[in-house]
Structure 1
Amino acid sequence: MIVRPNLHWLRMLFVVRGSILPKIAPQLVFTTIISIAVTLAHGRIFEWKIPLTFIPFSLIGITLAIFLGFRNTTSYARYWEARMLWGSVLNETRALSRQSMTLVSDTSDSPRFVAYLIAFVHAMRHQLRGTDPRADLDRLLGKEDVTCLGRKQFKPITLLLMAGEWLRERRMRGQIEAPLAQLMEMHLDRLGEAIGGCERIATTPIPFTYGVILHRVTYLYSLLLPFGLVDSIGPMTPVIVAFISYTFFALEAVSAEIEEPFGLEPNDLALDAMSETIEQSLREILHRQHTAQMRAREHHIIT
């Protein structure tokens, strides 16, 4: 995902990266060339004049714009839901890390619990993208845990299980009271709901036939449009066709890109940055607790 400061209006006109233009450039050039050829031939194919006016294109264009708008709204709803789920992952992991430092009487092993949470975030990102999480797991977990995870298909769920087992151990040792352990379990449950929601988005795309219909209508509309405009606007036909085609092609391409928000496209979610932010946030909680413990020891020594 590209995150930029607000650009000047003039610079916005010439932005290329993230503007979807490189992706639709070939079909846009092809459509413009066709419209130039139609303009030069005055709307004729060999000796046959194509009897089209702009009236049917006005009606079809309005309908097409409505359906493309609906497709974009649906795609953006998936994108925003995915962002909200990742936001909940940030909130829940922060809450769990804090509680592991403040509700447990002995926090000497709390870094291992926080490591499970950080590993969960990275494993969740890798699972959604279909990439290998081994490098992140190796730097965060012990060999025994990494070996266990290597045999699992759904590694984030296993990491939640490991975190739950850590919590059970603390409860059995009397280091945390049962009601407080239940409270932390509720946060673990919400993390499970977050990964489940993301899996639902990743594995349930918008019905394929819906996209095919819009794709075909968009291209047919753009290819036939110059025949309906050439008699009324003449030499300006290629310019207007290019502008209208750019609008429709861009809307279709954007909706297809953000429909799968976990990918690596410029407008997809910045999962790498979000994972690093969560890890840094949780590590700061660990550092704060370590600093507080050191101060308490110094105070005890002085007194």
Structure 2
Amino acid sequence: MLLNKKISIWYFIREIKNQILYMGIFAVSIGLLDLLPWFRKISLPLNIPALLGTAVSLLLAFRTSQSYERWWEARTVWGAIVNDSRTLMRLIIQFFPAGEDKIIKEFAERQIIWTYALGESLRRQPFSDRVQNYLDEHQIKATNIPNALLDVHSQRLRNIAFSKGLTELHQLNAVIMRLCDNMGRCERLKNTVFPRSYSILLHTLIYVFAAILPFGLDDSQLAVEILITFLIPVMFLAIEKTSIIMQDPFENGPVDIPVTALAQTIEINIKEMTGDQNIPVKKDNSLYYEM
């Protein structure tokens, strides 16, 4: 996720470097062709590229809005995961009497591993050594590891309630259900792609606009014509690329939801709540984003 720091403009330039090159070649080529008398006779009324540019602007505004909604929903879901993780441990500490530190630490460790496993699975990354070692140690194997860890939560609560005669654990089950719901919302955002047909239409319209724009401009000032032919389409392409990046909030990039940083926050909070002395310290981030 981008932080309130100076953003590297080179990151965005790298994302659209090919489009910048194509637009640069096109703008210079059109400028050179305008030196030919017969080519300068080809012209269009300015209101035609203006009308198409307006249509592209409206479509880009909708695309950017929808992409931001997806990103913000993902951030809201992970905010709820942070809160529910704290609530789960607070209830665990409350319901289990003194002397049950082993049970409390068991749930604490599993919840911490769950948050890291969920973030890594959403990013389609191999599990970290810490997560994999926990899975191997407890012999947890499943297609959906985060879901399997929540199953272990539920099974352990059921077994403990039966063995100890506890009957008021419905609040804990409700928190686990919320964690499961939020996990499902993250998976929906990850697996539901933005309509490809809309992206193709918008991309095509931008290039059509770029192609007809120079024919509606005044040919008397060649440098200005080349600059406008290059600059306006590149701006449209940059906005489109920004929305494309933002629409996938779990792609392990700078504009990603910082699932690793949030998992570290959850780990610190849980360990402080359970009295664990081995509390990790967040390192100062010198970058313009955090993961």
**TM bracket, shorter-chain basis:** 0.7 to 0.9
Inter-partner Cα distance in structure 2 for 1:212 and 1:44: 34
| Partner of residue 116 from structure 1, selected from 106, 110, 119 | 110
Tell me, what secondary structure is at the counterpart of 2:96? Answer: coil
Cα deviation digits, residues 197-252 of structure 1 (max 9, x gap): 01111111111111011111112212332222143654201222232122201111
Tell me, yes or no, if structure 1 residue 178 matches structure 2 residue 171. Answer: no
Greater helix content: 1
Tell me, what secondary structure is at the counterpart of 1:173? Answer: helix
Query: CA 1:236–1:289 in 2, change beyond 3 Å: closer, same or farther?
Result: closer
Inter-partner Cα distance in structure 2 for 1:74 and 1:21: 23
The share of aligned pairs that are identical, in percent, is 26
Query: CA 1:232–1:259 in 2, change beyond 3 Å: closer, same or farther?
Result: farther
Tell me, what secondary structure is at the counterpart of 1:148? Answer: coil
1:36 equivalent in structure 2: 28
Tell me, yes or no, if structure 1 residue 255 matches structure 2 residue 243. Answer: yes
Residues 164, 185 of structure 1: 8 Å contact kept: yes
Inter-partner Cα distance in structure 1 for 2:146 and 2:228: 51
1:266 equivalent in structure 2: 254
Residues 19, 234 of structure 2: 8 Å contact kept: no
1:84 equivalent in structure 2: 76
Pairwise CA RMSD: 2.4
1:56 equivalent in structure 2: 48
Residues 38, 44 of structure 1: 8 Å contact kept: no
Tell me, what secondary structure is at the counterpart of 1:108? Answer: helix
Tell me, yes or no, if structure 1 residue 66 matches structure 2 residue 66. Answer: no
Inter-partner Cα distance in structure 1 for 2:9 and 2:18: 15
Inter-partner Cα distance in structure 2 for 1:164 and 1:135: 25
Residues 43, 227 of structure 1: 8 Å contact kept: no
2:286 equivalent in structure 1: none
Inter-partner Cα distance in structure 2 for 1:287 and 1:232: 76
Pairing of 1:150-165 with structure 2 (within 5 A): 152-165=142-155
1:301 equivalent in structure 2: none
2:15 equivalent in structure 1: 23
* Normalised TM-score (structure 1): 0.83
Cα deviation digits, residues 124-172 of structure 1 (max 9, x gap): 11221112225232454671x2x222xx100111100101112112212
Residues 50, 227 of structure 1: 8 Å contact kept: yes
Inter-partner Cα distance in structure 1 for 2:171 and 2:90: 13
Q: Report how many aligned residue pairs link the two structures.
A: 276
Unaligned runs of 5+ in 1: 291-303
Inter-partner Cα distance in structure 2 for 1:213 and 1:25: 21
2:287 equivalent in structure 1: none
Tell me, what secondary structure is at the counterpart of 1:2? Answer: coil
Inter-partner Cα distance in structure 1 for 2:35 and 2:163: 85
Pairing of 1:279-294 with structure 2 (within 5 A): 279-287=267-275
Cα deviation digits, residues 54-88 of structure 1 (max 9, x gap): 21111111111000110011111001101111111
